[in-house]
Structure 1
């Protein structure tokens, strides 16, 4: 749907609103807005949250690579990364690590979360880019997520037919249909949480 030169903010916003009209692109809101198509996978055995050594990082990355390859983004993977600022301006940023692992991303849009206390209002700055898909193409992003150095990442194909939200400890996946969700879930049962609600 996009080529790198065509990945402009307005087109991406229109695409998001067409594909995911019930939820703005807050990564942590997706599972609550699409619970019937959501599944969570843990990135380490026994639901261990953080990797401690290179062998465990290899497991984390292998699980991400496996899931993303099965989801099949096609030629390009859309990578959305997030940053937070105290005002609507895109600088100064609180988490400079984002620009280190996604230096080519362009600013897409600004989201505002309205807390009960306006003093704690936060501005989420979203950045987007297309990367030619192959396993390993976003390992720097995934390692930064695994280490809780960045958050709010959303991955998807260029048509946004599914969404993949890696977090420190695993990944939330939102599929186009419940049956596709169930099939992916069945293939990777050992990566699921033992929590009754799937967390």
Structure 2
């Protein structure tokens, strides 16, 4: 799949991203295909259940997310990226689905990317919105819960150097670490949250 950058409002962030992840744009679900030796996926609920039905299950989801996020980013500044998808290359407010903005307060557009072909009838644009904040446990709980309910997609959390990336999705999280060794250590620490799928999906 070929992604094209339509707008780049924060070229310094883009430079840092390309330095660390030259083979892939900051599109969360693409990372595992390009950096599989540094990728591990954790599921959000026991037995790989995808969606929560009870408050207790939501507690498990948030506990797992916060545990790994704290291990990756404790005491550090992070970039939080949300994605607003629209049919227009310009980010025009009010958005039909404003959650990527409301759940990432103060977010500014980083870039706009698209994978549509010129001959396609309905283009789709991913507007990446970014904030910087100090990581603390629970800081992203409203956003993570929205991801768990499939209200928001495409979220990324990364350190300022972009050396490791956390990509929660409805059902779990993809972690892409700075090295295969770091990936292996994180996987070993939470082996009970891994998928039984032979490819770790």
Tell whether the 8 Å contact from 1:83 to 1:94 is kept in structure 2 after alignment.
no
Q: How does 1:142-161 map to 2 (within 5 A)?
A: 142-161=144-163
* Alignment match, 1:169: 171
Tell whether the 8 Å contact from 1:131 to 1:137 is kept in structure 2 after alignment.
no
* Alignment match, 1:3: none
Tell whether the 8 Å contact from 1:40 to 1:171 is kept in structure 2 after alignment.
yes
* Alignment match, 1:23: 24
Task: Name the CA distance, whole Å, in 2 between partners of 1:148 and 1:115.
Answer: 26
User: How high is the TM-score relative to the length of structure 2?
Assistant: 0.91
Task: Name the CA distance, whole Å, in 2 between partners of 1:152 and 1:115.
Answer: 21
Tell whether the 8 Å contact from 1:112 to 1:123 is kept in structure 2 after alignment.
yes
- Which digits, 9 at most, give the CA deviation of each residue in 1:100-135, with x for residues without a partner? 211211111100112585113211000000111100
* Alignment match, 1:105: 107
* Alignment match, 1:5: none
Aligned pair count reads: 192
Task: Name the CA distance, whole Å, in 2 between partners of 1:116 and 1:177.
Answer: 37
Q: How does 1:80-95 map to 2 (within 5 A)?
A: 80-91=81-92, 93-95=95-97
Tell whether the 8 Å contact from 2:74 to 2:136 is kept in structure 1 after alignment.
no
Tell whether the 8 Å contact from 1:155 to 1:165 is kept in structure 2 after alignment.
yes
How much does 1:147 deviate? 0.6
Task: Name the CA distance, whole Å, in 2 between partners of 1:83 and 1:73.
Answer: 27
Structure 1 residue runs of 5 or longer lacking an equivalent are 1-7
Task: Name the CA distance, whole Å, in 1 between partners of 2:166 and 2:184.
Answer: 15
Q: Is 1:131 aligned to residue 124 of structure 2? A: no
* Alignment match, 2:56: 55
Task: Name the CA distance, whole Å, in 2 between partners of 1:120 and 1:128.
Answer: 26
* Alignment match, 2:4: none
CA-atom RMSD, angstroms?
Answer: 1.5
* DSSP 3-state at the match of 2:200: coil
Task: Name the CA distance, whole Å, in 1 between partners of 2:199 and 2:117.
Answer: 26
* DSSP 3-state at the match of 1:111: strand
Task: Name the CA distance, whole Å, in 1 between partners of 2:101 and 2:156.
Answer: 15
Tell whether the 8 Å contact from 1:95 to 1:150 is kept in structure 2 after alignment.
no
